[in-house]
Structure 1
Amino acid sequence: MTKKEKGFVPVMLTPFKENGAVDFEGLDRITEFYLRSGAKGLFANCLSSELFELTDAEKLKVISRVMKAAGGQVPVVAAGNFGRTLKEQADFIKRVYDTGVQAVIVLTGLLAEEAASDTVLEDAIGRLLSLTGNIPLGFYECPVPYKRIISPQLLGKLVNTGRVIYHKDTCLNIEQVREKNRLCAGKPSFGLYDAYMVHAVASLRSGSAGLSCIQGNFFPELVVWLCKHYDNASLKKEVQLVQQFFIDEMDVMHRNYPKAAKYYLWKNGMNISVYTRESGNSQVSYAIKEDVEKLELRFRDLAEKIPGVLVRAQ
């Protein structure tokens, strides 16, 4: 995952069986689906994976299974700073790294209390770095338990240590993204992956290494296409259409997520259950079905206008 080739890194879903157990065969299928769609990396054990609903043992098993299914075709990163203390978080980071991931991702909201200053956050990060040897790390401004944004200045400082190679950005502010990319420029091992599709094109043009968004759990081929063609002058009109589609459909794809995404994939031939642990069931409301039906029709209409984007034949 480098800046030379913009790439889509899916925030992976975790399929469950109807009894709530992890569906590892389904996880293989969804991993293969991401790869067929053109993903350049995989983010396992993230919020979309329902990571806070997984036991520590399940987290490690899920990551290991993704590693096996990916088979070295693309790099894999995974969240790993779990524990009540920084020492416990560091120990679990080591266990995650032992699965073979390229980098272990640190959830910023688990490092300091919400009211704590940036100085407290920076100190916690420094201590975590010292407790984890030379393990490559990344950061994720995860919305849960609360969203803790890393400032451009702090991110630049961290990247300069040589230890931080990945950042999943959720600041929703294109000016901050531009500044982060400016301050981290010239570090070929580092990549910023933006989650906010409203400014996807501007983010890629500012130097972001790629996109890592929930929309990729509906339309991965469309996110891949945008990463390839965002700056193609001959496709300027089509790029604008795709960008506008993601702006217009933002609320729909966030609503009832991740169940709506699982339902969309199931409806289009993916052999996985719609079960989520948060809901404790695989029931799909009429509202979700209606949203997904309309969303699919709008996507099919868009795909007819975009060269190289094919509606999946199931």
Structure 2
Amino acid sequence: MKKLYGVTTAMVTPFNKEGQVDFEAIKKHTEFLITKGVSALYPLGTTGEMLKLTVEERKNIAKTVVQTANKRVTVFIHTGAMNMEDTLQLSKHAYEIGADGIGVVTPIFFPTTDRELEEYYVKVAQSIPEDFPVYLYSIPQCAANDITPELAQKIASRCRNVIGIKYSYPDFIRVTEYLEINNGEFSVLPGADRLLTSALAMGCDGVVSGVSSAYPEPFVHVYEAFLNQDYNLAEELQRIAVKYCETLKGGSNLSYFKEALRLRGMDVGYMRAPQLDITEGELRELEQQLQLLAEEAAFLFKD
């Protein structure tokens, strides 16, 4: 089974001024990321404003990304939703359109017990072929529900296709515990962009990066340097990647990703309400900060 690895980009979802999904922009953004050398694509997650989308919109976006990528890179579709029925429907659809696998966030807002989470994931995993890979997705600071290592092990023991976890909370002790699941065969990727080199050193397969949706180059270069065992270079590049994380607010305001892409000539539109685009003043400040960073990191952007 395929797995997520390297720089897995959590993609933004482009909207036009009327709040409709811009599918042409999705195609262009997919091409942009593939051209820049990312390892895998992860649309429709938190960075993709998943909960603001209808099931049909999510299906159409997933199909657009899969068809545009055309097997040139690994594509995992995030299919977690507010209810079981939608999650099952989206998961089956991801398989049917030829995605390489899925990620599924925990149920959100309403507190769930470990027993409820276990049965939820088992039902999702068993609703699709057992050779179609599933990543658990834990983001407790947003979802209000967490996946303990013990729970992840139980789910993986019951479902052969549950092969890993995206863990979007910066707790490295927890990461080490996930890495022990299934005798060290469990795939682990943090969702914290700035932890890429540290995560790789611990044995993680890579990172699921939202910042790389706008600036993939620093992260791709970090990953390549690490693979080449040039750890001093990887450390130097990671410092630059962290500066991009800080400048783009680390995903706390997704409008920064979209405006950064627009400044790069890649128009991915606007935020969908209730979130708003950044102000003119914030945009000017962002432009100045990115210009300073571009001078420092010019060597990363040479073709």
Q: TM-score, normalised by structure 1?
A: 0.83
Show the 5 A alignment for 1:1-314.
Answer: 2=3, 6-82=5-81, 84=83, 86-110=84-108, 113-114=110-111, 116-132=112-128, 134=130, 135-142=132-139, 146-160=143-157, 161-184=159-182, 187=185, 191-230=187-226, 232-236=228-232, 238-254=233-249, 257-273=253-269, 275-279=270-274, 284-304=279-299, 309-310=300-301
SS state of the match for residue 48, structure 1?
coil
Identity of aligned residues (%): 21
The AA in structure 2 aligned to 1:11 is A
SS state of the match for residue 9, structure 1?
strand
Deviations 1:16-38 (A, max 9, x none): 22222111111110000110111
SS state of the match for residue 146, structure 2?
coil
Query: CA separation in 1, counterparts of 2:227 and 2:128?
Result: 39
Query: CA separation in 2, counterparts of 1:43 and 1:245?
Result: 23
Rate the CA distance shift 1:234–1:43 in 2: closer, same or farther, 3 A.
closer
How many Å apart are 1:164 and its aligned residue?
1.1
- Specify every segment of 5 or more residues in structure 2 that has no aligned partner in the other structure, as ranges: none
Contact 1:67/1:76 (8 A) holds in 2:
yes
Query: CA separation in 1, counterparts of 2:252 and 2:114?
Result: 32
Deviations 1:284-308 (A, max 9, x none): 431233034213412430344xxxx
Rate the CA distance shift 1:153–1:296 in 2: closer, same or farther, 3 A.
farther
The AA in structure 2 aligned to 1:99 is I
Q: Please tell me the root mean square deviation across aligned C-alpha atoms, in Å.
A: 2.7
Contact 1:197/1:243 (8 A) holds in 2:
no
Query: CA separation in 1, counterparts of 2:252 and 2:187?
Result: 30
SS state of the match for residue 204, structure 2?
coil
- Specify every segment of 5 or more residues in structure 1 that has no aligned partner in the other structure, as ranges: none
Query: CA separation in 2, counterparts of 1:191 and 1:136?
Result: 11
The AA in structure 1 aligned to 2:295 is R
Alignment coverage as a number of residue pairs: 299
